[in-house]
Copies of this chain bind each other. A is one copy, B any other.
Amino acid sequence: MASNVSTTMKKYQARLEKRLPEVFPKKLSEDRTVVASLYSLLAGGKRIRPVLMYMFADMLSIDLDVIDDFAVAIEMIHTYSLIHDDLPCMDDDTLRRGKPTCHVANGESFALLAGDALLNRAYEIIFGAVKKHSYTVNAAWFLADCAGINGMIGGQSIDLDSEGKKIDTNKLCELHEKKTGALINAACQIPYLIYAAQSGEDKKLYNLIKSFSEGTGLGFQIKDDLLDVQADESVLGKSIGKDQRDEKSTFVTVFGESNAQKMLDDTYNDVFRALDGLKTMGYDVQDLRLLSQLLQNRIQ
């Protein structure tokens, strides 16, 4: 079974990887900001957000050519956030995806600019998509909202502000819903928003996709926090045990490892229940189910 999802994932990953080297104009290929941007963008990674987006698009029979720009953009936004998070004034990380972080390899100033360039270029691509397909404008707006102060940046801000402080469960959940969850929500819900703009809204469908994406976002973060204490550094490709050292509030540092494991299991129960609901509606969710099992049990 795992080979099925692996094949499906590889198909979508390959579709994305083919487009990523071309996101900047060819004539700027020697520009040092472009070089630094591509250094991080092409460093591999699981490409979970684009893969989820493609899977939901396929589930909803949306033309993948329309999705491509969104898949590329969400990965660029994710990558910029990693580059800026790794900077010395933030997490000061030196290892990412098994390679020196962007600023270690390209210098701090070009890493800063590379983050800016990736974020801005993501929206250039999305405005281009909206020019071609005006019905994607709501999905475009939602992507920006999820990436901004109401979403990922907002979560990062709470995270920074809570370093070295005790924060309560509500704040911890808000932090992670925004920091990790928002962009995963965007990945899953953008295909629905494009579907709804063409075929009309479907409240039941929306609620099930929302339930899946919220569970997947939360589950992703809890698993990340667990891996920080459980993983093998050489497999994970980034430093281990940093959360405790940095006095970060995570599901493990706040609730303890065994409680965090239980929360992960409960969260995935919700995820699989949402998939059952989608199946009952007649949608093919086999790939999504296999991907969820893989995410729940991942070792990196």
Contact = CB atoms under 8 A, between A and B. Distances in A.
Given A150-B25, A160-B110, A141 B116 contact: no
Interface residues of A, number: 47
A149 B108 contact: no
A5 to B, nearest CB: 32
Contacts of A157: 31-34, 110, 113, 117
Nearest to A138: B131
B34 A113 contact: no
Interface string A55-90: 000000000000000000000000000001001111
Contacts of A28: 149-150, 154
A112 B90 contact: yes
B137 A130 contact: yes
Contact of A141 (B89, B131, B137): B131
7 contacts: A28-B149, A33-B157, A120-B153, A128-B141, A130-B137, A130-B140, A130-B141
Interface of A: 24-25, 28, 31-34, 84, 87-90, 108-110, 112-113, 115-117, 119-121, 123-124, 127-128, 130-131, 134, 137-138, 140-141, 144-145, 147-150, 153-154, 156-158, 160-161
